[in-house]
Homo-oligomer: A and B are copies of this chain.
Amino acid sequence: MSPREDLRSPSIFIGKQGQDIISFGSGQPDLPPPVEVTEGLSVRFDLRYGLIQGEYELRKALSHEYPDSTADNFIITNGASEALDIIFRAMGRGKVLLPRPYYYSYPNIVSFAGMEAVYTNLKDGRIDMDDFNKKIKDCKAVLINSPSNPTGRIERIETLKEIEEITRNKNIYVVSDEVYKDLIYERENYHIKGNHVITVNSFSKTYAMCGVRVGYLWSSDQEIVNKAIEIKTHTSMNTSLIAQDMALNAMQAPKTYIKEQQKIWLSRRDIIFKGLCDLGFNLWKPEGAFYVFPEFTSPEKLVWDLYTKYKVIIYLGDWFGTHDRIRLSYALDSKEIEEGLNRMETALKKEKYT
């Protein structure tokens, strides 16, 4: 094993857990789902195809969460991943603007769809409107992810409104990946609106049910919704019916469930943010999601040392399009976060980093 070969992608760390490993890698809640998801779930015996677009009851329930929407505006998908995959495939050829650093699947999803990714670099972890305006001109779409994985930042409401208007005027699609919308510490989520907007969301993070794979897209542009349904007809058909039943069950959970989760995430954020500051890292204070993205001058060596000598998993900034940074997820117990920080402290003292 050598760092250069093995650190090409996060797959080296997939499935690595237990055995005294502290993993700041995985981007999923460790907390349990609400009991409503499984309790009282009645497994249907009629297992014939469902509607490609998704079960009506679930889409109807979702429509109550989105102003001026109907069940027709939604497609239920195999997680937010499939929602992104089919929406870009529905657009045809063209350029997609991606803020960088980005969630590592974005460039792949865009290129798999036959589209071309172009990038605008974030400034201080947020969209730089000067650069954005230069790059957006000849794009067919832009992908916004606020709160962001990997930066943990949220965009300013003014920025989101400005993007909303610029893209509306230029007839450019906005794909707004809001999977962390219920994990914002600073303010309410601002939901980008307009007929040119496709919102992507998921039950995975809000209800801690990543493995069930239920996400959705929402748009008032019925033409793009219909195109995406047409694609899904050929590439996967309906999202698993029982998975959709579990998602509908999740929506019965009391709102206090989400509030309680937010408290836990907030206290974890405070622990890891303070801990990393104390260790001398330079980083943005997370405002949403559950990631920190500190600077570090020799990130490959640190990732490698921590994994091979200290049983700590952290991710490399390169996987998110950015050198000289590392990503840590704090989706783990406070005690584990503290133990992980202690091991990092030891590593930083013992090993040599330039």
Contact = CB atoms under 8 A, between A and B. Distances in A.
Interface stretch (A208-216, A259-267, A337-345): A208-216
Given A235-B85, A236-B78, A210 B47 contact: yes
Secondary structure call for the A interface: loop
Contacts of A15: 51
Contact of A82 (B30, B112, B235): B235
B38 A212 contact: no
B241 A211 contact: yes
A294 to B, nearest CB: 25
A240 interface: yes
Interface string A11-48: 10011000000000010111011000110010111111
Contacts of A213: 236-241
Q: Number of contact residues on A: which range applies?
A: 35 or more
B210 A112 contact: no
Question: A-B pairs with the 6 shortest C-beta distances?
Answer: A105-B234, A47-B209, A108-B234, A85-B235, A240-B243, A211-B241
Interface of A: 11, 14-15, 26, 28-30, 32-33, 37-38, 41, 43-52, 78-79, 81-82, 85, 89, 105, 108-109, 112, 114, 208-214, 230-231, 233-243, 246
